[in-house]
Amino acid sequence: MMTNFDIVLLNILSYLLGIGTGLTICCKYKEKFMSRSKSNDQLNNIRQLNHHYDTPVIEAMPPPSAPTEITLKM
């Protein structure tokens, strides 16, 4: 028979083994997890090129016009 103490020790042991396995995998494949993707590198290169050439900013919306007055008659 397993006592409550045995169950607690088994849970602690499995928890520590899980943490150890996760850390081992992270250390082994650190370059794959932490490396930046090619798309991020390409975006950064495009941003740097745009910054060097001082491209004009194109506004997506026209500037706001004068406010329109609305009168309500009762």
Of 19, 39, 38, residue with least CA distance to 27: 19
Domain boundaries, the chain: 4-53
What does the pLDDT read at residue 57?
A: 59
CA distance 15 to 23: 12
Higher pLDDT, 4 or 55: 4
What does the pLDDT read at residue 22?
A: 92
What does the pLDDT read at residue 36?
A: 56
Cα 47 to Cα 35, 39, 57, 58, distances in angstroms = 19, 12, 13, 15
Residue 2 one-letter amino acid: M
Name the pTM for this structure: 0.43
What does the pLDDT read at residue 49?
A: 61
Per-residue model confidence as pLDDT tens digits over 14-55: 999 999 999 999 888 877 766 655 566 666 666 666 555 555
End-to-end CA distance of the chain: 87
Residue 13 has pLDDT above 70, yes or no: yes
